[in-house]
Structure 1
């Protein structure tokens, strides 16, 4: 019922379009629990569009990582992703599609005037996951993260909106890039073991070399002092990005701030949990506990409710 009310609030009435948005909402709820929780703190009329962006990204990521029978080979996944991505880029150019997830994201792009180049860049990075299994330097990894993470933050900005027209859009964009990249690095650190099982390492080789760690050592999954020092250095890199992103939260529209604060708090605390587990990222996924997630969400909900009562929830949108 919540999804229907959100679609009503957003003025989305076409049945086929509503079905696409609802599919994206379910993808977000199933796979992106922290993001889904944070999205609930946005005004109802904004939530479907964030679900659409998440659903699109998740769908593409699933195609790349799908290990179901018949697609377990690199060639099988590449064929499926290539077919989907070529169709998506064609649909993006035409502005129309028969795919329900793409239908929702195309509507979101049109309503919020989101630059289509961000989506092409995202597809390019997802394509890299089919052929690239490691990165020599952080600069190389950063180029990958531009498409996989930074542009996702930029896609979100028109929906989140600015506090007022005095806020420079280019300044806001830099904070969004930092936050998107911080989220991505946090994912990489949390998922070291999982990514290794997929044949990938997202820690730069230059970082491994600096601490005397090689891929074989990571694959053994035993935490030693060198691995602790490596992960500690990468955690600090992620925390610097979170600190760089923080001033941007006060620059978005008040109705969007508690969503961002909640996502930032819960995601950054994954780094704290890695430390509490003595850097064991090989055996079981590191996660923030349910009581803490509930505590942060409740605080965010109070703030979101107060901001809605204080003024209008329609953001000042894009750079125009």
Structure 2
């Protein structure tokens, strides 16, 4: 399947093909929900999504998943090396790391603004030193670089039926919505890493602080104050989904089934958390396999319908190729940090 994707995308260089293969493997292994949604995209657009996801996953692993014995200073050094490699790759198209090589090629093909990648790297660097956020506004400042820009990176790949600048705020909001869903699901795991992404003022409004979260995590006991805070954060997140929803209709019709599937599945994380009694400090809520399969099947039906409609639509302009003037030099969801 990967060779067919690469052939359809016009990627022939052996080193580049190997780099894209590597990114696709990262997507399949770590981003199961996102990988499932990506399979609904036109075949020639999938390698670009794999490249965007692969780079984000690689950077995230440097911050979160290196050997626990590696200290913050060393993590910062490794992240700095990746940032410098990224800058070189975006400048001249070369890179030793497969994720950089594939990303630089995708950025060139689709005219993705380099600032989006630099903002993402700044957010990853913040995760090395910032352990909590005082307010929701502070958290949204962080999610601009960690999630909103990922939606903006994806937009040229997905294509739009409106001016890209019109669709951009909705794509950014969708990236944030996905990440906030993950923050809610991963409260316990993030606490073990020393981070609390739920805003301190929201927690305090329910009488919750880090010590109470730690007590609940360590003892396995519930507290109604924590449940109240988690429920409020869920409501905030649902508001961001509502903010993002109008953007689905702005996408190229053949891309909509992919993003709608991701929209439903990541929104389903909120439903799973609520069904599980907001027990995120004790276990990870998950969307069931049956539900995932049903949403994916619905996505396939929508894919076939969109492609059939595209064939029947008279005078429909061809979608812009990656290097067409409609794409080059324009400002423009891989996936938000921690997406699975």
* TM-score for both structures, normalised by structure 1: 0.95
Which structure 1 residue ranges, 4+ long, deviate > 6 Å from structure 2?
none
CA change 1:231–1:287 in 2 (3 A) is same
2:95 aligned counterpart, secondary structure: coil
Question: Structure 1, unaligned stretches of length 5 or more?
Answer: none
CA distance in structure 1 between the aligned counterparts of 2:67 and 2:318, rounded to whole angstroms: 43
Which range moved further: 253-262 or 134-143?
Answer: 134-143
Aligned residue in 1 for 2:133: 135
1:110 aligned counterpart, secondary structure: helix
1:282 aligned counterpart, secondary structure: coil
**Cα contact 2:85–2:100 (8 A) shared by 1:** no
Query: 1:251-290 alignment to 2 at 5 Å?
Result: 251-290=250-289
The alignment status of 1:79 with 2:77, answered yes or no, reads yes
CA distance in structure 1 between the aligned counterparts of 2:158 and 2:270, rounded to whole angstroms: 26
CA change 1:267–1:250 in 2 (3 A) is same
Deviation for aligned residue 1:85: 1.7
CA distance in structure 1 between the aligned counterparts of 2:40 and 2:318, rounded to whole angstroms: 14
The alignment status of 1:205 with 2:200, answered yes or no, reads yes
Match for residue 95 of structure 2 among 81, 94, 97: 97
Deviation for aligned residue 1:92: 2.1
Deviation for aligned residue 1:195: 0.3
Query: 1:115-126 alignment to 2 at 5 Å?
Result: 115-126=113-124
Aligned residue in 1 for 2:338: none
Aligned residue in 2 for 1:6: 5
Question: Structure 2, unaligned stretches of length 5 or more?
Answer: 312-316, 321-325, 332-340
Which range moved further: 124-133 or 220-229?
Answer: 220-229
Deviation for aligned residue 1:69: 6.0
**Cα contact 1:66–1:77 (8 A) shared by 2:** no
CA change 1:274–1:64 in 2 (3 A) is same
CA change 1:236–1:36 in 2 (3 A) is same
The alignment status of 1:155 with 2:178, answered yes or no, reads no
